[in-house]
Amino acid sequence: MEDQNKLIHEVTQRDYRFGFVSDIETDTIVKGLNEEVIRIISAKKDEPEFMLEFRLKAYRRWLTMKMPEWAQLKVPVIDYQEIIFYAAPTQQAKYESLNEVDPELLRTFEKLGIPLEEQKMLSGVAVDAVIDSVSVKTTFKETLAERGIIFCSFSEAVKHHPDLIQKYLGMAVPYNDNYFAALNSAVFSDGSFVYIPKGTRCPMELSTYFRINAKNTGQFERTLVIADDDSYVSYLEGCTAPMRDENQLHAAVVEIIALDRAEVKYSTVQNWYPGDKNGLGGIFNFVTKRGICKGVASKIFWNQVETGSAITWKYPSCVLMGDNSVAEFNSVALTNNYQQADTGTKMIHIGKNTKSTIVSKGISAGHSSNSYRGLVRVAPKAENARNYSQCDSLLLGDTCGAHTFPYIEVGNSSSIIEHEATTSKIGEDQIFYCNQRGISTEDAIGMIVNGYAREVINKLPMEFAVEAQKLLQISLEGSVG
Amino acid sequence: MLVIKDLYAKVEGKDILKGINLTVNAGEVHAIMGPNGSGKSTLANVLAGNTNFEVTHGSITFNGKDIFEMSPDVRAKEGLFLSFQYPVEIPGVSMVNFLKTAVNEHRKYRNEKELSAGDFLKLMREKKAMVQIDSQLTNRSVNEGFSGGEKKKNEIFQMAMLEPTLAILDETDSGLDIDALRIVSNGVNLLKNKNNATILVTHYQRLLDYIVPDFVHVLYEGRIVKSAGKELAFELEEKGYDWIKKELGE
Ligand SMILES: Nc1ncnc2c1ncn2[C@@H]1O[C@H](COP(=O)(O)OP(=O)(O)OP(=O)(O)O)[C@@H](O)[C@H]1O
Ligand SMILES: [Mg+2]
């Protein structure tokens, strides 16, 4: 027993494997936040007037808002005057080939295990890689362009498709939605934009690797995915961040709009630097993600594997507006050491015959705290709405905590809402069984945890699933008891 | 191969094994019988290294090495296999993935190359035929939702995959139907050779018709109180344990 605890401890105490800082010249502006800074950001990006107005409106609103307080999260005070709100790699030229790209940057990608060339040639995945705030390289653009698919950085979209931006920006997440959404709306630097035209099935997974790089730079990504009538797209978001001491703020916004019969699958593997074993450092991850099933029979699927960040606050949600629309939230959230996560989803049923499914798998180890917070709301007019929720917690050791807060508000009596929840501890007998077959405790834990999360991992696109499995195992190195 | 000397062990503060002595040589089959709660599974678990059981005295050498120096997974890779009386379920972990990891860990330990996916599947097919295990079972999660008998069959299938030098079968016969008992026993016999050994823990003489033991031991209140040839099993089947208790003067 002693030994096992020790081993479990060692397994979870392994250091973060993606911790390195790459040495790319970065063009940053002075730290701090005021209207002038926002004007500079907008000017640097050469934005049209409506964007500046959007930002300023959001900023002024943000000034009147207060940081939310949470029951289950302990968040240190954030000094916004100490944050640099804009950083872009200085080499901003558009490259024709990878040879022209800063070799240091390419090495960074390699360390992350995503050599662009290979991605380009082998996997058929178009990669819009965001280092800090400006998109550096976009691939497969031509193939996509042939079908009228737009996949580019947010800044480019603002330049080339201002009409789409103006129409949809803030539709799912209004600038005044919450404290961090307002902040993001004011200062967001870049992100990705996707538009799938009517009747088009995107032939490849669209993937963006985000990465916080410049020291002391808050990251404010903004992603907007629009799927027009009868279209389909699968979007992958993955990230790893380099190790550093100070806490870093990350407040992204993702908006999805699905029109009639459109289907959007949005998958995330999140591995921001979680801080060290003692809870020092790590990313603060305050994300607002929301999709609107705007059209009839539209579908939105959120799939996520969250292993990183010191503090995660995130509820990918869906508003099921269109009749017969369908939404799913499939999540694995793993916390270790002193990580804190408060995640879940909101499913808002407005249309008739709408259906939502929630599968949440929490894994807690070390001294971490892992909460599921979910809301299922059925509006009075949402006839025959259905929701099924399943929230499972797996505890590794007895110094961690898991909490479940399901909120249900039903305004229509024809709806059917089902909720199931379980909490279990990883079984010593399971570990011993694996040991007896020659499998080390470390591998056994990885295996058992992956088995537990399989239902969700299976929803991820293949190459992501493999990465997610490794990540779950790596993240637990040092943690079971 | 296995030498147990004056072994004492306890669980939850209670003494269970109270001075076990047993030597098992390569090529031998030993049967251990005894009343419920006498410590048979405890002995099996101590051999396999289950840390719920605390060894308080004695020594065990396996292949000439001190077994207490080895972690449970190393003992397994040294060739010790335990067919569990109650195999656990591991939801979401496929049999294929589980066994592939197990087999390759064994191979790595012996400095052999890992099996390719193709070779592994071939090996699996071969061994599945040997114990006549349903393909559908091996496509499922480890033991999840398996019937009692299926779990036992699955244990022997794993044994066939791992080819241990010392197999400890803890009541593998309990829960098997008549045909399955024959098939499983046949599998165990096929795996037997002069370099490996088997310890059978059982309550019934019936199993010993199929797998013929060289020695039968009676474990009673944490001690081996009687050892003899296979005829002892018949005697026990006929008379129960009372006469042994009497012999012990109880
Ligand atoms: N984890 C445990 N906690 C408490 N007592 C235990 C534990 N494991 C075993 N015991 C006790 O140790 C004694 C020996 O158990 P063991 O399982 O070794 O018996 P056995 O000979 O295998 O019996 P059976 O024939 O019923 O399988 C029993 O009294 C049992 O209740
Ligand atoms: Mg027993």
How high is the pLDDT of residue A115? 47
Going A153 to A157 to A159 to A165, the CA torsion angle's sign is negative
Bridge partners, residue A304, by sequence: A268, A331
A447 touches chain B (CB under 8 A): yes
Query: How far apart, in whole angstroms, are the C-alpha atoms of residue A135 and residue A337?
Result: 33
The C-alpha atoms of residue A453 and residue A472 are separated, in whole angstroms, by: 9
Q: Do B106 and A438 touch (CB under 8 A)?
A: yes
Distance, CA of A173 to CA of B213 (rounded, Å): 74
Which protein residue has the closest C-alpha to ligand 1 atom 24?
B36
- pTM for the structure as a whole: 0.80
Q: Is the pLDDT of residue B127 over 90?
A: yes
Question: A454 and chain B: CB distance < 8 Å anywhere?
Answer: yes
* Number of structural domains in chain B: 1
β-pair partners for A372: A343, A404
Q: Enumerate the residues of chain B whose CB falls inside 8 A of the CB of residue A447.
A: 90, 93, 97-98, 101
Query: What whole-number distance in Å separates Cα of residue A461 and Cα of residue A190?
Result: 25
Q: What are phi and psi of B242, to 5 degrees?
A: -55, -40
The DSSP string of A123-144 is I--EEEEEETTEEEEE-SHHHH
Could A437 and B98 be called an inter-chain contact, meaning their C-beta atoms sit closer than 8 Å? yes
Q: What is the pLDDT of residue A245?
A: 47
Q: Is the CB of B51 under 6 A from ligand 1?
A: no
CATH number of the domain that B216 lies in? 3.40.50.300
Cα separation of the two ends of chain B:
34
Non-local (6+) Cβ contacts of A20 within 8 A are: A111, A242, A243
Tell me the CA distances in angstroms from A443 to A7, A435, A446, A470, B73, one per residue in order. 11, 9, 5, 11, 11
3-state secondary structure of A86: coil
Taking the CB of residue A68, how many other CB atoms lie within 10 A of it?
A: 12
Is B85 a member of any domain?
Answer: yes
Domain span at B32:
2-89+164-247
What type of residue is A447? M
Q: Is A10 on the interface with B (CB under 8 A)?
A: no
A148 touches chain B (CB under 8 A): no
CA B134-B139-B144 angle, to 5 degrees, is 90
- In which region does residue A402 sit, left (phi positive, over 0), alpha (psi from -120 to 50) or beta (all else)? beta
The verdict on A452 touching B (C-beta cutoff 8 Å) is yes
Span A169-223, pLDDT tens digits: 999 999 999 999 999 999 998 888 999 999 999 988 887 654 444 444 457 889 9
Chain B interface includes A79 (CB < 8 A): no
CA-B38 nearest atom, ligand 1: 21
The whole-angstrom separation of Cα A195 and Cα A226 is 5
pLDDT confidence of residue A162: 96
Asked if residue B6 belongs to a domain, the reply is: yes
Interchain pair B162, A437: CB under 8 A: yes
B92 contact residues in A (CB cutoff 8 A): 450-455
B50, B90, B155: which to substitute to probe chain A, counting the most A Cβ within 10 Å? B90
Strand B65-66 versus strand B166-170 pairing type: unpaired
Q: Is residue B112 part of a domain?
A: no
Say what angle helices A2-12 and A441-457 make with each other, to 10 degrees. Answer: 60
Give the Cβ contact number of residue A423 at 10 Å. 14
Q: Which of residues 411-440 of A touch B (CB under 8 A)?
A: 427-430, 432-440
Q: Which residue has the higher pLDDT, B101 or A277?
A: B101
- The pLDDT tens digits of the residues spanning B128-187 come to 988 888 888 888 999 999 999 999 999 999 999 999 999 999 999 998 999 999 999 999
Position A20 scores a pLDDT of 52
Name the 3-class secondary structure at B227. strand
Over the Cα atoms of chain B, what is R_g? Answer: 18
Distance from CA of B73 to the nearest CA of A (A): 4
Nearest chain B residue to A457 by CA distance is B92
Helix axes A441-457, B95-109, angle to 10 degrees: 150
Between A427, A429, A443, which is nearest B101 by CB?
A: A443
| Cβ within 8 Å, pair A438-B73 | yes
Q: Which of A392, A429, A437, A459 to mutate to test the interface with B (most CBs of B within 10 A)?
A: A437
Single out the residue of A282, A284, A285, A210 nearest to residue A246, CA to CA: A282
Unique residue bearing structure tokens 């020594």? B59
Q: Where are the alpha helices (DSSP H) in chain B?
A: 40-48, 72-77, 95-109, 117-131, 135-138, 148-162, 178-191, 205-210, 231-239, 242-247
Q: Whose CA is nearest to atom 10 of ligand 1?
A: B11
Percent of chain B with pLDDT strictly greater than 70: 100
Give Cα B144 distance to the centre of its chain.
21
Report strand pairing: A355-364 vs A386-395. Answer: parallel
Longest Cα–Cα distance in chain A: 67
The residue written with tokens 């006469």 in the block is: B243
Residue nearest ligand 1's atom 17 by CA: B41
- Burial bucket for residue B51 (CB in 10 Å: 0-12, 13-18, 19+): middle
Closest alpha carbon to A207 in A218, A228, A192: A192
Contacts of B169 in chain A (CB under 8 A): none
> Does residue B15 lie within any of the structural domains?
yes
> B49 contacts in A (CB within 8 Å)?
435-436
pLDDT on residue A94: 43
Which residues of B lie closer than 8 Å to A, measured between beta carbons?
Answer: 48-52, 71-73, 76-77, 81-82, 84, 87-88, 90-93, 97-99, 101-102, 105-106, 109, 141-142, 158, 162
Q: How far apart are the first and last CA of chain A?
A: 9
pLDDT at B228 over 70: yes
Quote the pLDDT of residue A7: 46
Q: CA-to-CA distance for A448 and A425, rounded, in angstroms?
A: 11
Does the C-beta of B45 come closer than 6 Å to ligand 1? no
Any atom of ligand 1 within 6 Å of the Cβ of B154: no
- How much is the ipTM here? 0.96
Closest ligand 1 atom to residue B85 Cα is 27
B39: Cβ below 6 Å to ligand 1? yes
Domain-located, residue B135: no
Q: Do B92 and A443 touch (CB under 8 A)?
A: no
Ligand 1 neighbourhood includes B41 CB (under 6 angstroms) = yes
Which residues contact residue B159 at a Cβ distance below 8 angstroms, ignoring those fewer than 6 apart?
Answer: B81, B83, B167, B169, B188, B191
The amino acid present at A282, given as its one-letter code, is G
Cβ of B16 less than 6 Å from ligand 1: yes
Contact B238 CB / ligand 1 (< 6 Å): no
- Residues of B within 8 A of A448 (CB-CB) are 90, 93
Report the residue from B50, B106, B141 with minimal CB separation from A451: B141
Give CA–CA dist A366/A396, Å, rounded.
7
Give domain status of residue B47, yes or no: yes
Our mutation pick for probing the ligand 1 site, out of B15, B20, B36, B204, counting the most ligand atoms within 8 A of Cβ, is: B36
Contacts of residue A75, Cβ cutoff 8 Å, sequence gap at least 6? A67, A284, A311
Radius of gyration of chain A (CA): 22
Residue pair B177/B147 in contact by the 8 Å Cβ criterion: no
Question: Does ligand 1 have an atom closer than 6 angstroms to the CB of B11?
Answer: yes
Instruction: Mark the ranges of chain A whose per-residue pLDDT is less than 50.
Output: 1, 4, 7-8, 11-12, 90-94, 108, 115, 117-126, 131-138, 210-217, 245, 481
- Partner residue opposite A430 with nearest CB, options B72, B76, B90: B90
- Residue-level pLDDT at A22: 56
B132: in domain: no
**Stretch (H or E) spanning A451:** helix A441-457
Q: From B8, B11, B15, give the residue whose CB has the most ligand 1 atoms within 8 Å, as the site to mutate.
A: B11
DSSP assigned state of B164: -
Q: Is B204 in the pocket of ligand 1 (CB under 6 A)?
A: no
Does residue B76 lie in a domain region? yes
